[in-house]
Structure 1
Amino acid sequence: MDIVFAGGNGYPPQAAGGVQSSTHHLARKLADTGHRPQVLAPLYGEGWFGLQARARLKLSGKGFVTDMTQGYPVHRAWFPDQVANTVVRQVQPDVAVIQCHGTVPIGRAFAAAGVPLVVYLRNVEFAELGGDIRSLHGARFIANSAFTAHRYAETFGIEATIIRPSIDRTLYETSPDGDLVTFINPVPAKGLDRAMEIAAHCPEIPFLFVESWQLSPDQRRDLAKRISGYSNIRFEPRTNDMKGLLRRTRVLLAPSRWEEAWGRVASEAHCSGIPVVGSTRGGLGEAIGPGGIALDYDAPLADWVGAVSRLWADPDHHAALSSAALKYSLRPEMDSARQFDTFLSVVEDAARLRTAA
């Protein structure tokens, strides 16, 4: 099948995060099994890649440009919904998998071109949908957690197949030998304030703050200023070597204040038996499970400090939760082959609509 993933989120190398990682993993699996994945994403004009793409876009005359930076075609346009019909004429997709920002207008554009829809529900930021998701008649729905599925059922009456985020274990599985408490994505929504409070009360513990969402120059300067007074906090820019990062990590810290749909960083850490101390916001507690300690974001600071300190200093406690984390990562719901089979069954079910028509 020809399958297009389309949404209003940027795509590598211009943007990175859980949505992009999960989509890329699925696209690679599709290509490995003889299908033809493609992506339609917004174009950002910044940076060398963006400047080159802008120049090519002006010359193309078709509203989007295509690159093979990810090993499969990625189409980029200023406004994906406005070029959906043109992409359909060129690609002739059997199914469009719509996700995240602009789900409704992008989905409507593909549906108007006669393409069956699968809507992948990856967050509960309903304002980002761009309309009433119930207007996408005939669409099949996938949710990335029980929490996400429940919220959409409760709010819109939508039933979704639950498929947890796909993870390529080979990119994360390692034998940790470090002593760092690692906090990935040091931005306010992900619990930056709470992480800094914990670090302030644990001066003997080395903390590593690692960029995930790309920080603007102003954000980077502000963060550098905030952590400059902490001798136990170090910052590192985003890395594609997650295995190397996890090898240095003893405890993963995820004190998110955002209503997470899932908690991909927790699942990635679990692949290496790294316990997580994180919040119960949204689906993050579901992702952590028995592989760590989940606390209410507003729990007393002493509870957060105690959870991190004990995991860092108590070998027996750490070993027990490490074992539980690794076991949790191997549960059937996180088996990538099973996840892919379920995903493919939903996509094939949607594709049958075109055949029937």
Structure 2
Amino acid sequence: MQIVVLAEFAVASGGAEKVAVESARGLAEAGIDVTYIQAIDGPMDPLLDHARIRRITLGNTDIWARPAHRAAFSGLWDAGAATRLGAALDALPVRPDLIHLHQWTRSLSPSVFPILFARNLPVAVTAHDYFLACPNGVYYRFDRAEPCTLKPLSAPCIAAPCDGRTRLHKLVRVGRSMAQRATLKRRRLAVIHVCDASVARLGGLLQELDVTHYRVDNPVRVECQPPADPARGDAIAYVGRLTREKGADLVAEAAQAAGLPALFIGAGPLEDELRALPGVELVGWQAPEAVWTLLRRRARAIAAPSRWYETGPLTVYEALAHGIPVLASDRSGASDAVIDGVNGCSVSPDPDTLARAAALFRDDTRTARLGAAAHAGYWSCPMTLTKHADALIGVYERILAVPGTAVPSLRGAIRAS
């Protein structure tokens, strides 16, 4: 079985890239031959160093690193990127069975979709966000700091000043979405969702397209070890980019109201604002090992109070695997895993509600109980790389199946190879 994994980066710098890289590795370890096509020049994650993984770089640049006028045109339709991708696919020594796309908005543009469909190959897309439907990708009103309720590409959507950057960015993204919708019409597309909420929400936004929906958990690469002791910690912790849509400011407010320090691991536009607040400690980005060494020592809970409909925040699942309870937004995909009062708190991302929830973690007995339940619950059904790869293979089998005929299991043949 030959699979092409197409992403814009080959390092696990963000959630989508991390899943793309780890999926490729998991598939290779399961016996699948993988070609990893990296659109933008850059470093390679060591996980891609495997005998069954072929790596190809297209040599693209980030669209928004170009001059504004060139970025606008490239964002709408990058013919050069499409040509390079087509040449790379045609040069493969073995025709792939399926192409699995993870990212296309930073350098590839909608121009890649006709290239993929022209090869008469099944195309699967993992929905790490809402770019398949929403121009700004997160179905969120940055101008109002609240989730969007508009129909994508409707007149009110086009007029809304909702982009997180500038009006130019919004106009380019509207044009890109229109071009993308036109290329996807009358084409069969498999969409792989990473949380239950995404199936319903994005599914409702894609009704005009011929889409089949699948559900596969993201992989979580955490070794099983004794649970942390969160009752010995001192802080409500946050890991990730420091932005308002992710609720970083809410963490600082809730921790202060609860009488607990707030520990931030990451960087972003709210850094100066947070640093000026009492009880806030910022340590910047850290290596993954250092992150969890610090959190196992300091965190009474991990907070992920996203204001937007975040699909699959990996930090939430990693925290549960370590035995650290989670204070999560009920708007995000984390609500699949966080059971209110059992392994953490799943609440509305508003200041008062979050402050009340954060105050619960001042109780050592409660915090210890939630942490122990988090660890036990996660490891009763862990989201391992092997399980993720097996689930993906099952989805690929279903996508490749011919309607009305029996499909032999590819997994058995793969495992035997």
Partner residue of 1:193?
249
Query: Judging changes above 3 Å, is the alpha-carbon distance between structure 1 residues 81 and 181 closer, same or farther for their aligned structure 2 residues?
Result: farther
Contact 2:2 2:33 in 1 (8 A): yes
Query: Judging changes above 3 Å, is the alpha-carbon distance between structure 1 residues 261 and 68 closer, same or farther for their aligned structure 2 residues?
Result: closer
How many Å separate the matches in 2 of 1:67 and 1:239?
14
**What letter matches 1:43 in structure 2?**
I
Question: Aligned match of 2:190 in 140, 160, 171?
Answer: 140
How many Å separate the matches in 2 of 1:33 and 1:335?
13
How many Å separate the matches in 2 of 1:233 and 1:67?
30
Question: Aligned match of 1:233 in 263, 275, 281?
Answer: 281
Point out where structure 1 has 5 or more consecutive residues left out of the alignment: 51-65
| Residues 1:329 and 2:378 aligned together | yes
**What letter matches 2:99 in structure 1?**
A
For residues 121-143 of structure 1, the C-alpha deviation after alignment (integer angstroms, 9 at most, x for no partner) is 22224225842285372333321
Question: Aligned match of 1:112 in 111, 118, 139?
Answer: 118
How many angstroms does 1:165 deviate by?
Answer: 1.0
Contact 1:139 1:350 in 2 (8 A): no
For residues 232-277 of structure 1, the C-alpha deviation after alignment (integer angstroms, 9 at most, x for no partner) is 4232223222432432322101111121112321111110121111
- Is the partner of 2:288 in helix, strand or coil? coil
Query: Judging changes above 3 Å, is the alpha-carbon distance between structure 1 residues 36 and 246 closer, same or farther for their aligned structure 2 residues?
Result: farther
| Residues 1:122 and 2:122 aligned together | no
How many angstroms does 1:336 deviate by?
Answer: 4.6
1:256-335 correspondence runs (5 A) = 256-289=306-339, 290-298=342-350, 301-311=351-361, 313-330=362-379, 332=381, 334=383
How many Å separate the matches in 1 of 2:317 and 2:25?
19
| Runs of 4+ in structure 1 over 6 Å off | 66-69
Partner residue of 1:53?
none
Query: Judging changes above 3 Å, is the alpha-carbon distance between structure 1 residues 151 and 169 closer, same or farther for their aligned structure 2 residues?
Result: same
How many Å separate the matches in 2 of 1:162 and 1:67?
26
| Residues 1:164 and 2:146 aligned together | no
**What letter matches 1:208 in structure 2?**
L
With structure 1 as the length reference, what TM-score do the two structures score? 0.78
How many angstroms does 1:327 deviate by?
Answer: 3.5
Partner residue of 1:3?
3
1:10-159 correspondence runs (5 A) = 10-12=9-11, 16-43=13-40, 70-71=48-49, 72=53, 73-78=55-60, 80-91=81-92, 92-102=95-105, 104-125=110-131, 126=133, 127=135, 128=137, 130=177, 131-132=180-181, 134-135=184-185, 137-157=187-207, 158-159=211-212
- Is the partner of 1:308 in helix, strand or coil? helix
- Is the partner of 1:236 in helix, strand or coil? coil
Contact 1:152 1:159 in 2 (8 A): no
Contact 2:238 2:251 in 1 (8 A): yes
Point out where structure 2 has 5 or more consecutive residues left out of the alignment: 61-77, 138-175, 408-417
Partner residue of 1:210?
265
Query: Judging changes above 3 Å, is the alpha-carbon distance between structure 1 residues 349 and 254 closer, same or farther for their aligned structure 2 residues?
Result: same
Partner residue of 2:393?
344
Query: Judging changes above 3 Å, is the alpha-carbon distance between structure 1 residues 134 and 323 closer, same or farther for their aligned structure 2 residues?
Result: farther
**What letter matches 1:70 in structure 2?**
L
Contact 1:149 1:159 in 2 (8 A): no
**What letter matches 2:59 in structure 1?**
A
The alignment yields a C-alpha RMSD, in angstroms, of 3.1
**What letter matches 1:305 in structure 2?**
A
With structure 2 as the length reference, what TM-score do the two structures score? 0.67
**What letter matches 1:75 in structure 2?**
T
- Is the partner of 1:201 in helix, strand or coil? helix
- Is the partner of 2:91 in helix, strand or coil? helix
Q: How many residues align?
A: 320
Query: Judging changes above 3 Å, is the alpha-carbon distance between structure 1 residues 303 and 292 closer, same or farther for their aligned structure 2 residues?
Result: same
Report the more deviating stretch, 15-24 or 254-263.
Answer: 15-24
- Is the partner of 1:334 in helix, strand or coil? coil
How many Å separate the matches in 1 of 2:102 and 2:17?
11
How many Å separate the matches in 1 of 2:354 and 2:369?
19
